[in-house]
Amino acid sequence: MQIITERQISYKSIAALTSIKEAPTERDKIAQTNKEGSAMSIKTVMCVFGVDRWDQDVKSAIEFCETQGAHMTALVICMGSVPAIATYEAISTTWLEGQQKEIDRLADETKAVREILERTELSFDIQEIYTEFAWADDDIAQHALYADLVLVGAQAAGNEDLQRRIVDGALFESPTPILINPRTQAVSSFPKSILLAWDSSDEAARAARQSLEFLMGCDAVHVTLVDPVARSWENGEEPGSDIAAFLTRHGVKVEVDRVASGGRRVDETLRQHAVDVAADMVVMGAYKHPRIQQRLFGGVTRSMLKDSRVPLFLSR
């Protein structure tokens, strides 16, 4: 069944009512940032790199942080191998030898990343973390507390175990949003088109607020509701109009898209609509349910993490 899109509200009509001027162009905003040094709100970006593959992630992270004028906190992380089942003596010797090799490799990879960063003019700090899978989310969360954004590149995101620990640590144990980039090229600081997934939840509202950095410089933000129900206590009599008005007051160029799923899953509908509007980024609230429930039954966030082809901004 064909997806039906209903666009009834645009930023122009709302701006006319609220006397909001259109947001500056990308060139204007970059020029203003260089002139005043304060237009950007993202000042610290935490970037997580795995020891196995990190070259493309480091390259794109440098470009993103340079464009933002942000400090980079680089975490090079290695999750230690689990001891094999054997006698105590065999485990003690073999496991300790393997652990030392992992620690030595972590030191070497961290040194290599540091040397690359030192050749730039970027402000940065770098830390190596040797941990276990069970504790990696705690280590990541501890550092995420002091960042405005956690940036995850395609190589780190391609490591399922590492991606899981990053998402769990940052989203469940810190207030910091995550930007996952499935592409090798850097995330644009000023995307032309953004899909904002909206369901009137606390998580979606938090994502909208925390992503204003990107929304305000965008040519078109598509507030997208899938099969919305018009109720005063849920989405309002005109679903999406309230968040559209809120964003417009910030100078965001908004279109409200009410999309019929046609029997598809929500994540499938969102991905298809992202293609339809040529979205450069998807912004959404993440994990409305507890972690254990998400693990057992899946969910929209989990599916989007697995199959998204554009940068995904997540907040919880």
pTM as predicted: 0.82
Does any domain span residue 277?
yes
Assess if residue 261 is contained within a domain: yes
Number of domains in the chain: 2
Rg of the chain over CA atoms, in angstroms?
Answer: 21
Residue 77 shares a structural domain with residue 123: yes
Domain extent at residue 20: 5-34+190-315
The candidate with the shortest Cα–Cα distance to 301, out of 274, 275, 265, 277, is 265
For residue 228, tell me if it sits in a domain: yes
Residue 67's pLDDT band, with cuts at 50, 70 and 90, is very high
Q: Which residues pair with 179 in a beta bridge?
A: 151, 313
> Residue 252: which CATH number?
3.40.50.620
Q: Is residue 89 part of a domain?
A: yes
* Per-residue model confidence (pLDDT) at position 16: 38
Q: 83 in a domain, yes or no?
A: yes
Residues 106-112 have a mean pLDDT of 97
Supply the DSSP string of 188-236, one letter for each residue: PSS-SEEEEE--S-HHHHHHHHHTHHHHTT-SEEEEEEES----TTTTT
Write out pLDDT tens, residues 281-292.
999 998 765 555
Among residues 180, 207, 234, the one where a domain terminates is 180
Does residue 185 belong to any structural domain of this protein? no
End-of-domain residue from the set 162, 180, 198: 180
Average pLDDT over residues 256-279: 95
Q: What tens digit of pLDDT does each residue of 85-100 get?
A: 555 555 677 777 778 8
